[in-house]
Structure formats: structure tokens, C-alpha cells
Amino acid sequence: MYDVAIIGAGFSGAVCAERFASLGRKVLVVEKRFHVGGNAYDTFHPSGVLIHPYGPHIFHTNSESVISYLSQFTEWRPYQHRVLTSVDGQLVPFPINLRTIENVYGLKLTSDEMKAWIANQAEPILNPINVEQSMHARIGKDLYQRFFKHYTEKQWGRPATELLPTITNRIPLRYSYDDRYFTDRYQLMPLYGYSALFRNMLNRPNISILLNTDWASVKDLKIPKIICTGPIDEYFDYVHGHLPYRSLHFDFIEHPVDFAQPVATVNYPNDYDFTRITEFKHITGQRIPHITVTGVEYPQESGEPFYPVLTKESQRTLEHYQEEAKRIESHVQFVGRLGTFRYYNMDQAVASALQTVDECLNSGW
């Protein structure tokens, strides 16, 4: 009855479902949660404030093709994300920029002076193999200690010496006063929210969606092609052991004021069990007076798999699963953050799902 089964209704699954359905294929989407949207799902808090229950999701990309694809399903609202970090009792801009150096060290530098100052701090480590070495090489010990070490170890639950450099290399260093978190060409939020975007992608006759359904309970259905956007290790019944994922717990707090903090996100690297507090109204642009909601993020070792933990060991385990995946690639493809065990942003998840569908079609799916 169905041509393609899709496990998971986050960005990766939704893109694959929409693409196959648009080509006339009959698609079954199986989602174990009670809603579509994956971790990008948004909903209204009892106070009426639109929140992101799985953590703040800010859309940013340099990809024309991703923007033009998603623009079929949503209008947009421009939004530039800004983050402050609580360091030594003050809130300073993050990623580190000229103003951060001025606030923390009392140094008012030009761009060239900051380059020279950072070069002087940086350690001569040629091929850094972990977060600690790589940050020592990029910014030196003192900035690393103040801004990265404790946040990273809290977030990932491991010493920074066990984590691969790519985790923190995604955070830039700015030799300017640019205090935006991202510098991508497109920084936009879906005008009516992510859940509305997903509804527009998935509401079509060729797509059936089973919510509250784990793939395990329907996998005996005879569907010739499968796209898995759930965890790759789970798909193979953990034959090569568990891949490590990091989870989060959120406390959502209502405040009887228009705004509770000056920017959308404040990071707390050094002082508490939580990593950051985000105020959603800044991000969504929702206008609702005298009430606001913040989300406080507590990293957890167990719970929903949110972040693939990138270590040398997890990469070795992943290779075993990639070999398993190769054996069945003619009828099963793995896509997305959990399916490929990659630290993808939303635009990367969309781009890679679009590419996978093209490749599937080229190989006769």
C-alpha cells in the first residue's frame, strides 16, 4: 500500500516525506511523539506565550536552495540572534568580540590589536585532537577557562579532553563589534512558527502520519523503501553497542513582565547546573504584554537523544553502524541528526534530506 516509510517527523523526515509525496509516491510517516516537527516543534505555553519545548530553535543558513525550498511552506520574519554570557559577575557579548575583550580585560582594542592579542594568548598546538587543545590553540587558556571549559563539560558531561574539536569550532571569534550569534546571509524565523511550517509540508493526500507510534511496532509492515531519521544504533538493535547522546531537561518559567532579560539567550558557563536561559518572545517576535516565558536548560545523560556526543570512541562505533547501513542501502537510507549521528543544524538537516532524496531517485527508488 505504501511506497516509502519514513521514521521520524522532524525536519529530515518531513523533507523526505514531502519530496517523495510530490512525486506521486505513497508515504507513511511514523513518529513516536504526539506531534510532528521533531525538536523544532513549537507550541503555546498555558500563559499564551509561544515556546520551543525542546530548546530554542533559530533558523539561519547561507543556502539559497534551502531557503527557496522552505519558503514554499512558510513566510518569514527577520530575526538576528544575540547572546550574552555571564562571566565574572557581568553579562558580556558572546561569541567573543572586541566588546567582550573590553568588558572582561578592560582593553579597548582595534581589530588588528585584538588579532595580535589573541595570537599572543594562543598556544602553539599544531594538530589539536580535542576541544581543550583546539580552544587553547585558538584563544589561549584564560578565555577558554572563562567561556568554554565549564560550559562544555556541563553540556556534554565529559572532560573537554575527550570531545572532538568540531564541537566548539562552530563558535567563531570576532575581531569586530559584531555581536550577532550568527552571520549567515539568511537569519529568519517562520512567521507563524515551526509547527505551522510542518503542517504545510505534510498535509497532503499522499502522506499518512502515524503519531505516538514507535517504528518497532510497525516494522513488519511490508514497505519496500525506508528512510530512517531515528537513531541509527536503535535501528540495528544496538548490535555494535549504544552511541552516546546527550539530552536536556527544561524548566519553563513564567514572569509577569514584558521582558525578563535583555537578549534572547544568556549563557551561564561557570555558576549553575544549567547552561543557558532563553526568553522565547525575543526569538518569535510574539507581541503579548505583561507576560513572558523563559526556558532554563539542564543537560542530562539520559532522556530523549538530542545531541550526538562526538568523541573518538563514538566515531569508531559509528563506523560499524555505517558498514551495516551500507549493506542495506538499496532499500534503507539514514538521514538527519540521529540517523547519521551528526551535529546538524536545521538547514543542514534540510539540505542533506533533499540530497538523499535526489540520490534515492537516481538509484531507482
Task: List contacts with ligand FAD (CB under 6 A).
Answer: 7-13, 30-33, 38-40, 54-58, 214-215, 229-230, 234, 248, 306-307, 336-338, 344-347, 349
From the list ligand UDP, ligand FAD, none, partner contacted by residue 171 (C-beta under 5 to 8 A by kind): ligand UDP
DSSP string of 269-323, one letter each residue: TTTSS--EEEEHHHHH----TT-EEEEEEEEESSSS--EE---HHHHHHHHHHHH
* C-alpha angle 218-305-295 in degrees, rounded to nearest 5: 125
Listed in sequence order, the residues at least 6 apart from 260 whose beta carbon sits closer than 8 Å to its beta carbon are 279, 292, 294
From the list ligand FAD, ligand UDP, none, partner contacted by residue 155 (C-beta under 5 to 8 A by kind): ligand UDP
Sheet arrangement for strand 27-30: 207-210, 27-30, 4-7, 225-228, 332-334
Does position 167 interact with ligand UDP (CB under 6 A)? The reply is yes
User: Cell 499564551 identifies what position?
Assistant: 48
Residue 119, SS3 per DSSP:
helix
Buried b (16+ CB within 10 A) or exposed e, 203-215: eeebbebbeebeb
Number of shown-chain residues binding ligand UDP (CB under 6 A): 13
Which of 55, 140 has the CB closer to ligand FAD? 55
Which of 52, 281 has the CB closer to ligand UDP? 52
Listed in sequence order, the residues at least 6 apart from 235 whose beta carbon sits closer than 8 Å to its beta carbon are 7, 215, 228, 332, 334
Does position 186 interact with ligand UDP (CB under 6 A)? The reply is no
From the list ligand UDP, ligand FAD, none, partner contacted by residue 170 (C-beta under 5 to 8 A by kind): ligand UDP
Does position 168 interact with ligand UDP (CB under 6 A)? The reply is yes
Does position 290 interact with ligand UDP (CB under 6 A)? The reply is no
Does position 269 interact with ligand UDP (CB under 6 A)? The reply is yes
What minimum distance in Å lies between the beta carbon of 172 and ligand FAD? 15
> In whole angstroms, what is the distance from residue 127 CA to residue 21 CA?
46
What minimum distance in Å lies between the beta carbon of 115 and ligand FAD? 29
From the list ligand FAD, ligand UDP, none, partner contacted by residue 13 (C-beta under 5 to 8 A by kind): ligand FAD
What minimum distance in Å lies between the beta carbon of 99 and ligand UDP? 15
Does position 287 interact with ligand UDP (CB under 6 A)? The reply is no
> In whole angstroms, what is the distance from residue 295 CA to residue 59 CA?
18
Residue 180, SS3 per DSSP:
strand
**Residue from the set 54, 94, 186, 198 that interacts with ligand UDP by CB under 6 A:** 94
- Contact status, residue 132 vs residue 149, Cβ threshold 8 Å: yes
**Residue from the set 125, 171, 196, 218 that interacts with ligand UDP by CB under 6 A:** 171
Q: What does the binding site for ligand UDP look like in residue numbers (CB under 6 A)?
A: 85, 94, 147-148, 151-152, 155, 167-168, 170-171, 267, 269
